[in-house]
Amino acid sequence: MPKKKIFSGKERFLKNPDAWKIWLRYYGSLAVILLLLVFLNYQLTHNEISLTEEAEEESIESAEADNKADQDYSNKTAKEVLDSMYEKGIFQKPGETKTFEIFAGSYFFRPNEIKANLNDIIVLKVKAMDADHSIRIPSYSIYKTLPKGEEVTIEFTATKAGEFRIECPESQMMRGKLIIE
């Protein structure tokens, strides 16, 4: 009696004519899953890297901008910084003190034209040379007598812009101009 051949599960499987289909399904699924995992992994790491790069680029850019601002600032002198603030109207520009030496004589003021800027503090040192005179700037309510040979100091703030007459009321020819810009 021939011994009945007993196939193991594996042998039986291998004898199955459709075995290749099962194999394909099994390994095919595995391959697909594996590919999917590889793809996902690539996507994740790639995105992570590009995000990190973006963040790095941004931080480099902002650091560069900071540096540039710092440099712009440090390249400017204190005066330039202040001037730019005056220009922007952050501060009102204080006037400079401008001193003028004026000689008064028969019949002149020398110099006879004084120029200053609005808000300047104007100091006039006026000296009558040959006789007593006086100086008057009506628009600024200034009137001072000038005894001969004596230096008289007049100080005022240029609060009004324009051209203003300087005169000696006693001498019609003694005329000057105060120009405030």
Q: Which residues bind Cu ion (CB under 5 A)?
A: 133, 168, 170-171, 174
Question: Measured from the CB of residue 135, what is the shortest distance to Cu ion in angstroms?
Answer: 8
Q: Of 82 and 142, which has the nearer Cβ to Cu ion?
A: 142
Partners of 150 in beta bridges: none
Distance CA(20)–CA(26), nearest Å, equals 10
Question: Measured from the CB of residue 170, what is the shortest distance to Cu ion in angstroms?
Answer: 5
Distance CA(77)–CA(162), nearest Å, equals 32
Radius of gyration, alpha carbons of the chain: 48
Question: Measured from the CB of residue 169, what is the shortest distance to Cu ion in angstroms?
Answer: 8
Question: Measured from the CB of residue 149, what is the shortest distance to Cu ion in angstroms?
Answer: 14
Distance CA(123)–CA(160), nearest Å, equals 16
Q: Of 157 and 171, which has the nearer Cβ to Cu ion?
A: 171
Q: Of 124 and 168, which has the nearer Cβ to Cu ion?
A: 168
Q: Of 119 and 171, which has the nearer Cβ to Cu ion?
A: 171
Half-sphere exposure of 130 (CA within 13 A, CB side): 5
